[in-house]
Structures are given as structure tokens and as C-alpha cells.
């Protein structure tokens, strides 16, 4: 285990308090990046004492051919227009930064007023794209982490804590 349920709850409370101040009177459009960010999003917004709208996007990385360009495929787009909105993107983890680099570009292209990023976990050692989150819960080492929304082959998202995946689990599949 890397971060317990209690540590995560404290972090959500701290981030929520800061976001409540920073977005006071602004009615942000808070975007959850499916599926990984759903647990963090649902805990975080309950700690934000401000008017807001919530929306959801589902994106997936392209295959190897286009990975280097950082392109992602939109599987579910926003229902609410981001134009002229103070957008807060909520993510579970920033790893290479490809997903967020693409989303930030897209939202700027759509003329969002401001685009900020709140991520529970940041894994800076793996970064390929220049993305620096505005709000970070925890910096994580260069390990594959699961739980609290994060999966390995679709499993472990429902764990209430964040842990490092045991190497024997992914070695079985190699
Ligand atoms: O910084 P990156 O290297 O782009 O990686 C981070 C992204 O990868 C994971 O999502 P994934 O695309 O696996 O989908 P999921 O959220 O549905 O699990 C994670 O939830 C982030 O969204
Ligand atoms: O460490 C991770 N765990 C789960 N999903 C991920 N997507 C990018 N990095 C990770
Ligand atoms: Mg994701």
C-alpha cells in the first residue's frame, strides 16, 4: 500500500479547500477523465464549496503508430461547451502526460477561458510531454500503481487505497 484511505481522504479535503478558494464565484466546469478519475472526482467535488458544473470525457490512447504525436481518441466528448469556461480537469494520474497534453490543447482550441489540472497522483519521472499540474495530491515513484480508480487490465479500480502492483501479477502475463 502506498496511500491509505485516510491519507487520500485528507488530501481530498485539502485540495477541495484550496479549490473552493481559488474558484470562489467562478462556477467552474469540472471535467472527470473516465474511467480512472471517477473515484477521485466524486470525493473531490464533495469537498468543493462552490457552484460548479460537472462533465465527463472518455479518451483512449492511440496505438503505437500515433503515440509519439500524443494523439488520443475521444470516446465520449463533453456535453457542455467549454468555450469561455473556467475548466478544471480532474485526473487520477499523470504519467507520460500524453493524455493531458492532448486534452489541454483541445480545450484551449475550444476557447476555454482557463484550463487547470488537478491530479491525485503525479509520476514525473515518466513524463514525455510538458505538463505541469496545478494541483497535485501525491508524487509517486516510477512504479505501476493501482486502486482508487486506477486499474491493471480493468481490475483493482475499486480498491479504496492506492498500492503498487505486485510484480508477480504482471509477470504472470508476460
Ligand atoms: O499521462 P499518460 O501516460 O497519458 O497516462 C495517464 C492516463 O492513463 C490512464 O488512463 P487510461 O487511458 O489507461 O484509461 P482509464 O482512465 O479508463 O483507465 C490514467 O487514468 C490517465 O488518464
Ligand atoms: O501507474 C499507473 N497505473 C494505472 N494506470 C496508469 N496509467 C498510467 N500510469 C498508470
Ligand atoms: Mg484515465
Residues 122 and 138 sit within 8 Å (Cβ to Cβ): yes
Q: Is the pLDDT reported for residue 66 higher than 50? A: no
**Quick check: CB of 131 below 6 Å from ligand 2?**
no
Does a structural domain hold residue 83? Answer: yes
Domains: count for the chain: 1
Share above pLDDT 90 across residues of the chain, in percent, rounded to a whole number: 89
CATH of the domain at 91: 3.40.50.2020
Mean pLDDT over 15-39 rounds to 98
Contact 102, 61 (CB under 8 A): no
Contact call for residues 58 and 72 (beta carbons, < 8 A): no
Point out which residues pair with 30 in neighbouring strands. Answer: 54, 88
Q: Is the ipTM of this complex over 0.90?
A: yes
The string of pLDDT tens digits covering residues 139-158 is 999 999 999 999 999 999 99
- Containing domain of residue 59, as a range? 5-141
Q: Per the domain annotation, does 129 fall within a domain?
A: yes
pLDDT of residue 173: 72
Task: Report how far ligand 1's centroid is from the alpha carbon of 47 (Å).
Answer: 24
pLDDT tens-digit series, residues 155-171:
999 999 999 999 898 88
Q: Does residue 124 lie in a domain region?
A: yes
Catalytic residue among 86, 92, 95, 122: 95
- In this prediction the pTM is 0.95
Q: Tell me, yes or no, if 95 is annotated catalytic.
A: yes
Is 146 inside any structural domain? no
Amino acid at each position: 500500500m502506498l496511500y491509505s484511505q485516510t491519507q487520500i481522504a485528507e488530501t481530498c479535503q485539502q485540495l477541495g479547500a484550496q479549490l473552493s478558494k481559488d474558484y470562489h464565484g467562478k462556477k467552474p466546469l469540472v471535467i472527470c477523465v473516465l474511467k480512472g478519475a471517477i473515484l477521485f472526482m466524486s470525493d473531490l467535488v464533495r469537498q468543493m464549496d462552490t457552484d460548479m458544473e460537472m462533465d465527463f470525457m472518455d479518451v483512449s490512447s492511440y496505438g503505437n503508430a500515433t503515440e509519439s504525436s500524443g494523439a488520443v481518441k475521444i470516446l465520449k466528448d463533453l456535453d457542455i461547451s467549454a468555450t469561455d469556461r473556467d475548466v478544471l480537469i480532474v485526473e487520477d494520474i499523470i504519467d507520460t502526460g500524453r493524455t493531458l497534453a492532448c486534452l489541454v490543447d483541445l480545450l484551449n482550441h475550444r476557447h476555454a477561458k482557463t484550463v487547470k489540472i488537478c491530479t491525485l497522483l503525479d509520476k514525473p519521472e515518466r513524463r514525455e510531454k510538458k505538463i505541469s499540474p496545478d494541483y497535485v495530491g501525491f508524487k509517486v515513484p516510477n512504479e505501476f500503481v493501482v486502486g482508487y480508480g486506477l486499474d491493471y487490465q480493468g481490475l483493482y479500480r475499486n480498491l479504496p487505497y492506492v498500492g503498487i502492483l505486485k510484480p508477480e501479477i504482471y509477470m504472470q502475463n508476460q
